[in-house]
């Protein structure tokens, strides 16, 4: 029987979200029901509400979450009720052409629950990124649940489910930052700050943080930036060259999602360096570069989907690093709020007041 719980729904484009009763079906084959304990408020949730992702309203928002498995359907593998899990939005299929070639982090056919959660009148909901975790309970594909050490704080490690993993992975996996590298990170929100932490974990020598908001630059310094550049008052390209012996950084990570910033990242890079684009553009954005610069500067330009992570491989390791005190995920939790606080959290995000507001549900 379906279970009715409270969830945060975006009913129409641009309208404030509302707390609604939703119905969560019992898990079918390959599915799991999870009691959500914590879920971060990410920019992508706001993009959904504003119709920036697609028009499949109503949306059940929330996708950076941790919780406990309540029940599983057949074929859920080793996943069992009681497991403490972080949810992921790229459950790899193991069968597509990319998985078969041994590159599951690019999986072209990632899995979600087959059944729909609905409003109480039966209207089907579209869960954000196939998760929908601003709810007391959600239904996902079993592969979207990654079991991690249950001693971790859900509000901190749930953030690995999206922005923090995307940022850490942008540095570690997409950018392949290594010991002694110089790195510049453009945009120091949750994603950029996580990229800074990833660069630090990888042994980067110089980590330059770029943002237009001095409050963000201060936090970036706390998390490991060795220098900061205020893009509102300085030219980031010149500043980064000056900080890297006149050459530019080995790896430049764009974590804003803006063509001008991508251009800055392109030119702030040393010859044969790497540009990683983890910020998400809108469909109308365009970039134009002299082809001679594209060729002449060499190196690599790499988009980063979810930090090229593999949740089953990476979440447990990162949770262990967190428990050892080597990954300060707690610093990302600016405040904890109830389900009814999501709309206000969007406003705070717009004003740049928070890294992450995190919805915490009764335990």
Ligand X SMILES: NC(=O)c1ccc[n+]([C@@H]2O[C@H](COP(=O)([O-])OP(=O)(O)OC[C@H]3O[C@@H](n4cnc5c(N)ncnc54)[C@H](O)[C@@H]3O)[C@@H](O)[C@H]2O)c1
Query: Can you give the binding site for ligand X, defined by CB under 6 A?
Result: 42-44, 162-163, 166, 186-192, 210-213, 216, 231, 255-258, 261, 278-280, 304-306, 352
**Residues 37-76 close enough to bind Zn ion by CB under 5 A:** 42, 44
Report how far residue 355's alpha carbon sits from residue 332's, in angstroms, rounded to the nearest whole number.
Answer: 6
Least distance in Å: CB of 254 to ligand X?
9
Least distance in Å: CB of 159 to ligand X?
10
- The closest alpha carbon to 308, from 186, 130, 156, 168, belongs to 168
Out of ligand X, Zn ion, none, what residue 132 binds, judged by CB under 5 to 8 A for its kind, is none
Least distance in Å: CB of 165 to ligand X?
8
Out of ligand X, Zn ion, none, what residue 210 binds, judged by CB under 5 to 8 A for its kind, is ligand X
Least distance in Å: CB of 128 to Zn ion?
8
- Considering beta carbons, is residue 26 or 343 the nearer one to ligand X? 343
Out of Zn ion, ligand X, none, what residue 127 binds, judged by CB under 5 to 8 A for its kind, is none
- Considering beta carbons, is residue 72 or 162 the nearer one to ligand X? 162
- Considering beta carbons, is residue 111 or 216 the nearer one to ligand X? 216
Report how far residue 132's alpha carbon sits from residue 139's, in angstroms, rounded to the nearest whole number.
Answer: 8
Report how far residue 69's alpha carbon sits from residue 41's, in angstroms, rounded to the nearest whole number.
Answer: 21
Angle at 93 between CA 280 and CA 9, to 5 degrees: 50
**Residue nearest ligand X (C-beta atom):** 189
- The closest alpha carbon to 246, from 268, 266, 226, belongs to 268
- The closest alpha carbon to 170, from 150, 190, 142, belongs to 190
- Considering beta carbons, is residue 25 or 236 the nearer one to ligand X? 236
**Residues 75-94 close enough to bind Zn ion by CB under 5 A:** 93
Crossing angle of the two packed helices 214-222 and 190-201, in degrees rounded to 10: 30
Least distance in Å: CB of 58 to ligand X?
21
Q: Among residues 99, 159, 184, 243, which is the contact residue for Zn ion, using CB under 5 A?
A: 99
In the chain the first and final C-alpha atoms are separated, in Å, by 22
**Residues 157-176 close enough to bind Zn ion by CB under 5 A:** 162
Task: Report if residue 349 touches Zn ion, rule: CB under 5 A.
Answer: no
- Considering beta carbons, is residue 179 or 283 the nearer one to ligand X? 283
Strand 269-277 relative to strand 249-254, pairing: parallel
- Considering beta carbons, is residue 25 or 104 the nearer one to Zn ion? 104
To the nearest 10°, report the CA torsion of 309, 312, 315, 320. -130
Please report the DSSP string for 79-101 in residue order: --TT-EEEE-S-B--S-SHHHHT
Out of Zn ion, ligand X, none, what residue 107 binds, judged by CB under 5 to 8 A for its kind, is Zn ion
Out of Zn ion, ligand X, none, what residue 99 binds, judged by CB under 5 to 8 A for its kind, is Zn ion
- The closest alpha carbon to 24, from 170, 181, 189, 135, belongs to 135
Q: Which tokens is 126 given?
A: 């579209």
Report how far residue 59's alpha carbon sits from residue 88's, in angstroms, rounded to the nearest whole number.
Answer: 18
- Considering beta carbons, is residue 10 or 76 the nearer one to ligand X? 10
Does residue 156 contact residue 332 with C-beta atoms inside 8 Å? yes
Out of Zn ion, ligand X, none, what residue 93 binds, judged by CB under 5 to 8 A for its kind, is Zn ion
Out of ligand X, Zn ion, none, what residue 256 binds, judged by CB under 5 to 8 A for its kind, is ligand X
Instruction: Write out the residues near Zn ion by the rule CB under 5 A.
Output: 42, 44, 93, 96, 99, 107, 109, 162
């Amino acid at each position: 029987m379906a279970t009715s719980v409270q969830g945060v729904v975006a009913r129409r484009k641009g309208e404030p979200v509302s707390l609604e009763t939703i119905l969560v079906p019992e898990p079918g084959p390959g599915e799991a029901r999870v009691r959500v304990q914590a879920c971060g408020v990410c920019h992508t949730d706001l993009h959904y509400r504003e119709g920036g992702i697609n028009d499949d309203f109503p949306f059940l928002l929330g996708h950076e979450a941790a919780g406990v498995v309540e029940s599983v359907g057949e074929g859920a593998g080793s996943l069992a009720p009681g497991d403490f899990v972080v949810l992921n939005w790229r459950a790899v299929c193991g069968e597509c052409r990319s998985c078969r070639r041994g590159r599951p982090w690019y999986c072209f056919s990632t899995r979600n629950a087959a059944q729909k959660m609905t409003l109480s009148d039966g209207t089907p909901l579209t869960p954000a990124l196939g998760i929908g975790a601003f709810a007391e309970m959600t239904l996902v594909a079993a592969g979207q649940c990654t079991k991690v050490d249950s001693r971790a704080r859900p509000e901190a490690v749930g953030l690995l489910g999206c922005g923090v993993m995307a940022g850490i992975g942008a540095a570690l996996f997409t950018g392949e930052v290594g010991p002694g590298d110089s790195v510049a990170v453009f945009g120091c929100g949750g994603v950029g700050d996580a990229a800074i932490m990833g660069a630090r974990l990888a042994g980067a020598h110089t980590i330059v943080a770029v943002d237009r908001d001095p409050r963000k630059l201060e936090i970036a310094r706390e998390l490991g930036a060795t220098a900061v550049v205020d893009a509102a008052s300085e030219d980031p390209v010149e500043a980064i060259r000056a900080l890297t012996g006149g050459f530019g950084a080995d790896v430049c990570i764009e974590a804003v999602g803006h063509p001008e910033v991508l251009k800055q990242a392109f030119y702030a890079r040393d010859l044969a360096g790497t540009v990683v684009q983890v910020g998400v553009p809108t469909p109308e954005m365009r970039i134009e570069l002299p082809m001679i610069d594209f060729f002449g500067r060499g190196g690599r330009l790499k988009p980063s989907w979810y930090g090229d992570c593999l949740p089953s491989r990476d979440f447990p390791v990162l949770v262990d690093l967190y428990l050892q005190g080597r990954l300060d995920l707690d610093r990302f939790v600016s405040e904890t709020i109830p389900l009814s606080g999501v709309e206000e959290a969007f406003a705070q995000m717009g004003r740049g007041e928070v890294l992450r507001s995190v919805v915490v549900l009764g335990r």
